[in-house]
Amino acid sequence: MLPEEFLNRMREMIGEEETLLLDKACEKDPVQALRLNPLKKKPDGCIDLLSEMKLEKLSYEDDGYLFDPECAPGRRPFHDAGAYYIQDPGAMIPGALLRKSGYLKEGMKVLDLCAAPGGKSTQIASAMVGRGILFSNEIVKNRCSVLSANIERMGITNAVVLNETPEKLAERFPGYFDAVIVDAPCSGEGMFRKNSEAVSQWSSENVEMCAQRQELILENAYACLKPGGILVYSTCTFEGSENEDRISGLIGKHPDMTLLSTDFFRETAEGLRDGLDECGDAIRVWPMYFNGEGHFAALLKKEGGSVEMLPPGGYEPVSDIKTGKALDEFLKDTLTKEAADRIASAKSRFRLFGDNLFIMPEETPSLAGLKVARCGLHIGTFKKDRFEPAHALALFLGEEDVLLSKRVNEDEAESFVKGMTLNGEGKGWCLISVCGYSLGWGKASGGVIKNHYPKGLRIQG
């Protein structure tokens, strides 16, 4: 049952009849969807998830699909392999809005300011296809860990995951980003039928607190955005004070910000509604009209000329002495020559964090003094006289990139992610894939493949 005070607020906003429809819509079962991951390498003979899970295409997101809950994709090993990301249909709109706007170009610098758990970051990263740099930031530490894990799972190589305040980033990167995404923390009204906790925790005081916090976040997002840059603002609430008022307030304070038309996007999606009052170009998603939960999204542009950018290369290349021959031996013994050459060609962007080796995204600025949870692609770890590959590297590579691989079925994959050993020929590091989607590392010897799936990710039971 929805809070009566909330219903009264909706009656004032949209009238009695529409509020009744909203109330009834919130009693229905939530709609479930996923995005297939175009970054995940799929060799010939790979299973076709579209037919396997009977997916129904979404019109506005190239990789988005509705699914039957009975397929339970979240409990299948394809999810562990990063073949898809489970996400509410409406939550895909802000990322799709930026992708289809024409403003997202190759090599851009993009900031996802409130990024956890990673839906919009992974969506934008798939459009960036490894080029440019994506800063995915989350202020809450444990949520930042979830964000980092999802970035890794989806095989993303050009993301820097930060655990910082918006204020710190605005101070550090003024006018730096070509695009900023703000999926702001909100009162969560749009998630009422999906999350009973959102109903029990709702209050008008929380709405007011969220609106004040959103205003501060938007100020910092504005500071980070370069002239000519694009801002996507979104929430999962119905409140005008958290949506249109925040857009109007930002434009009123900064006349160089312009609300852009979203007509190009509305042509591809059914059930979208205009924003309220003077923010009609914004998009409102109401569950009584749209096949998904409640959301709000707006696209804005910062007018003006160029600004001096931060210099790239804020890191010291790793010397050959530090990497030694352990890495060279691993590349030679484990990867094909083509794949090994691709890794080696990025040597100027190698960086060591302790004994962990990463490939930094191109043109990464200095990150000194920032709380960095992940920085580009984690290649592996130096352990005495050997090099052990990272789980992230397995999720980035495909079967065609390695000298030794084993393709397993779903049942075998489920055993593998629980920590079980596998039977297999050969010797050395072996890439395990589930029906063609890379899943993790094993080490083969004597007809047995020892399990190297990370213990912290293993499924219990």
Q: Which residues are part of the catalytic machinery? A: 236
One-letter amino acid at 31 equals V
One-letter amino acid at 70 equals E
